[in-house]
Structure 1
Amino acid sequence: MNKIVKSWKYPSILLVGIGISNVGAWIYLLALNLVVFDLTGSPLAVAGLYILIPLATIVTNIWSGSLIDRLNKRTLMIVLDLFRAVCIFALPWLLDASIWLLYIMVFLINMATAMFSPTSMSYITKLIPLEQRKRFNSLRSLIDSGAFLIGPAIAGILFIIGTPFFSIFINAVALFLSGIITLLIPNLEKSSAIRTEEKWSWQLVIRDFHTVMTFSRNNVYIMLIYFLFSSVIVMTAAVDSLEAAFAKEVLNLSDSDYGFLVSIAGAGIIIGAILNTLVVKKIATSTLMGVGCVFVSIGYIIYAYSGAFPMAALGFFILAFFLAFANTGFHTFYQNTIPIKTMGRIISLYGLVQSILVLLTTVIMGIVAQLISIQAVVIAGAFLMLLIAVILCCFTFQPSKRQYEQSAEFDRMNV
């Protein structure tokens, strides 16, 4: 028992920091939406906040991987948390100056967030032993799911007792606490300086791009799985962009009915995440990832064909339920197969591609939905998602690829 407690000491601290940060992020997102809408009265202005997220990822991921792989991960995580905390704390004062200054600050916050994700994943992979990764990822999915429910609930309470500005301050405090908690986890890298005599430059970024391409060519199967799963995520983002319009125009739901539909999805997420933590050790990584994606797609298809609330609710519940399984399988797969020394560059570069695809797919589906019909586009998107998921399953279930379930060879590369 003492051995188990000791082995989970630092992972537990890390999970607490992730949980606090995620809850704060939901509070911040909802509060910022309200603040911008109250200030401008424009839904387009609010939509601009969401456009800034993939744009910031595109701008950041071009170069950030080169820094992430050469910097002290724990130090960088702390700096990024504190930077975001300061920027978010300053947001209310920028509203009095200019809406454009607000957008610039939000863009910088999103850039830091885009950089934080691959940094934390690289650190997590180094901290968590191979045999604990599936369990850790399942618990992280549970925390993410809990934040999805708890964050908006806390935001609602804060809106009642205070103002959206107060909620924004709460997220600044949450990120500050997350940064402080990160100080409690081990410093796995001895030096916080860039571990190379070569100074950062665009030539270095270009060479790192070739490094990623070389790894991709030498490990086609790994990157194919990565790309296929990312493509499923791209399709979920594109279909989700039409969710509100679908609920209004196809299902004819009221605002309260739509809110209840989202709550059902939240219930599916949390129930799926809880079950995932209980059975994760007994299910192969490939099954979690492949079958999880297939059932997420099936949930979207049920939702796409729905003409009334009950069927839409069933589809929402199914897709949300299996999302935790799919994410756990995917995170475990690339933690076990992508070496830490290049993980920041690989995640950043492929994240850049994913963000571009999300933007393009969302725009295309939005235009086609305007020209044809929302339901037809959602159905087509759901079936394309299912096709990609089935192809993913076919590759992950190849008997010759079972070595990637828990590959000691690749884990030795993670040093």
Structure 2
Amino acid sequence: MMLHKRYSHWWGKGLLLGSIGISRIGDFIYLIAINILILNMTGSPAAVAGLWIIAPLASILTKFWSGSIVDRYDQRKLMILTDVIRAVLVALLPLLSDLWMIYGCLMFVSMASSIFHPASQAYIVRLIPEEDRKQFNAFQGLTSSGAFLIGPAIMGVMLMYTTPDMAIYLNAASFLISAVILFFLPKLDVKKTDSTGSRSLTIRMVVSDWAEVLGFTRIAFYVMFIYSFYHLILLIGMALDSQEVVFIIQVLDLSELEYGLIISLTGAGSVAGAFVNSLLVKWLPLKHMMGGGMLLVSLGYLIFSVSDSFTVATLGFVLLGFFSSFSNTGMITFYQNNVPAELMGRITSVFGILISLLQIIAIIVFGVVAELFSLRLLYLSISVVLIVLSLVLWAASLKKSAISYYEEKVNVNHSS
């Protein structure tokens, strides 16, 4: 009986990893294909840049209410439903002739993704026991890193023989395959009503949920500080990433071919790092994975900012890619272990709104600053800031983990 249970447990984890991997491969194919599709349609760099604003904007429009649904309904069904919705909408993209229609369709695709992410986070916490989460997250990082390498490679081959439209259809198919795999995962019980017994989404429910998230944040301030501070560092790095192609081609005077090679080698470094991480994860403390990993990622940015050749620039990006898996695995596991499954959808969604707002602001600000000042000076200055912030994160993560939300509630109830 125990052997059967263990087999089912690993089978479920394997299916979940397979679904994530297939979906991620499709995402990277789609990311390149949609940029090429928009550029071919409009010939406008501004139109392409608009694609980078859609996802965080959709997140803001969706996440202030989606967490209330995620925590009350079958997360597996939500994941399947959003996969199917994304498959249908993505398949429609090559058939649309107007830019505004494509933007509108992409907005709904991103809104579905904004529901899928917190649903998958909550489902993982329910499905995977706490003692197995670090190893699972390491394998998930390996899966995503592999997708980062395989997806663009498939896209490159497809562009040699087909059109971007076919790549977009392949992405739609990947969502359907992901949905089919998720169908075979176990159904897990969730709370389906709010405190009033309602099963429907209401304004009162959303307000009540936001109040509960704020209450949890006050009780588990340390946990949410680490989570927010980590994502602040990620946002700054992401804003730098939005200027990487300009830095490589205009500042370093490298060719588009060399740029593509740097990105490919970064992907290879990410896969190598994820593989090493999956081997060592059992012996690595979360606090060192988060803080130390992020510090080495920041060091990669610094090396890239002072580079004057293809070799040094590649070294910086490979270092960045290699250690990103360590920091991501540490942060995800820390978050899963300290946030109750019953609140994860709401907390992920509420903080996702703030993250998306900051993402939009950071991309715009960095773009303007890059126009006014030296891009190398910008990269160098921000890289130093990232290193300082990473040291602060590492120091803060050395503190013992905060008491859990429900332990605190029990203590309060007993004392009263």
TM-score (norm 1): 0.93
What's the CA shift string for 1:71-122, capped at 9, x where partnerless? 1101111100001111111112113xx2211110011001111111111000
Equivalent position of 2:302 in the other structure: 301
Counterpart CA distance in 2 for 1:199 and 1:174 is 31
Equivalent position of 1:200 in the other structure: 201
Of the structure 1 ranges 42-51 and 280-289, higher mean CA displacement relative to structure 2 is found in 42-51
* Structure-2 change in CA distance of 1:156 and 1:194 (3 Å): farther
Alignment partner of 1:89 out of 88, 91, 95: 91
Alignment partner of 2:45 out of 43, 46, 61: 43
* Structure-2 change in CA distance of 1:163 and 1:61 (3 Å): same
1:400-415 map, 5 Å: 401=400
Q: Is the 8 A contact 1:242 1:378 kept in 2?
A: no
Of the structure 1 ranges 33-42 and 144-153, higher mean CA displacement relative to structure 2 is found in 33-42
Counterpart CA distance in 2 for 1:23 and 1:346 is 27
Equivalent position of 1:340 in the other structure: 341
Verify: 1:314 aligned to 2:326, yes or no. no
What's the CA shift string for 1:294-332, capped at 9, x where partnerless? 110111111111122221111111111100000000010
**Structure 1 residue 408 displacement after superposition:** 11
Verify: 1:153 aligned to 2:145, yes or no. no
Q: Which amino acid aligns with 2:217?
A: S
1:123-138 map, 5 Å: 123-138=123-138
SS of equivalent residue, structure 2 residue 50? helix
Q: Which amino acid aligns with 2:363?
A: T
Equivalent position of 2:413 in the other structure: none
1:159-308 map, 5 Å: 159-189=159-189, 196-197=197-198, 199-308=200-309
Q: Which amino acid aligns with 1:100?
A: W
Q: Is the 8 A contact 2:289 2:326 kept in 1?
A: yes
**Structure 1 residue 378 displacement after superposition:** 1.2
**Structure 1 residue 180 displacement after superposition:** 0.9
Q: Which amino acid aligns with 1:53?
A: A
Equivalent position of 1:32 in the other structure: 34
Counterpart CA distance in 1 for 2:78 and 2:405 is 28
Q: Is the 8 A contact 2:223 2:401 kept in 1?
A: no
**Structure 1 residue 402 displacement after superposition:** 5.3
Q: Which amino acid aligns with 2:287?
A: S
What's the CA shift string for 1:247-293, capped at 9, x where partnerless? 12221111011111112211110110000000000101111111101
Of the structure 1 ranges 71-80 and 27-36, higher mean CA displacement relative to structure 2 is found in 27-36
Q: Which amino acid aligns with 2:93?
A: L
**Structure 1 residue 228 displacement after superposition:** 1.0
Q: Which amino acid aligns with 1:208?
A: D
Verify: 1:392 aligned to 2:393, yes or no. yes
**Structure 1 residue 382 displacement after superposition:** 1.3
- Structure 2: runs of 5 or more not aligned: 411-416
Counterpart CA distance in 2 for 1:202 and 1:249 is 50
- Please tell me the root mean square deviation across aligned C-alpha atoms, in Å: 2.0
TM-score (norm 2): 0.93
Q: Is the 8 A contact 2:340 2:405 kept in 1?
A: no
Q: Which amino acid aligns with 1:12?
A: G
* Structure-2 change in CA distance of 1:253 and 1:342 (3 Å): same
Q: Is the 8 A contact 2:292 2:394 kept in 1?
A: yes
SS of equivalent residue, structure 1 residue 8? helix
Equivalent position of 2:66 in the other structure: 64
Q: Which amino acid aligns with 1:158?
A: M
Counterpart CA distance in 2 for 1:318 and 1:342 is 35
**Structure 1 residue 199 displacement after superposition:** 3.3
Q: Which amino acid aligns with 2:85?
A: F
**Structure 1 residue 209 displacement after superposition:** 1.3
Q: What is the total number of aligned residue pairs between the two structures?
A: 405
Q: Is the 8 A contact 2:239 2:362 kept in 1?
A: yes
Q: Is the 8 A contact 2:220 2:405 kept in 1?
A: no
Counterpart CA distance in 2 for 1:295 and 1:308 is 21
- Structure 1: runs of 5 or more not aligned: none
Counterpart CA distance in 1 for 2:29 and 2:407 is 42
Q: Which amino acid aligns with 2:392?
A: I
Q: Which amino acid aligns with 2:25?
A: V
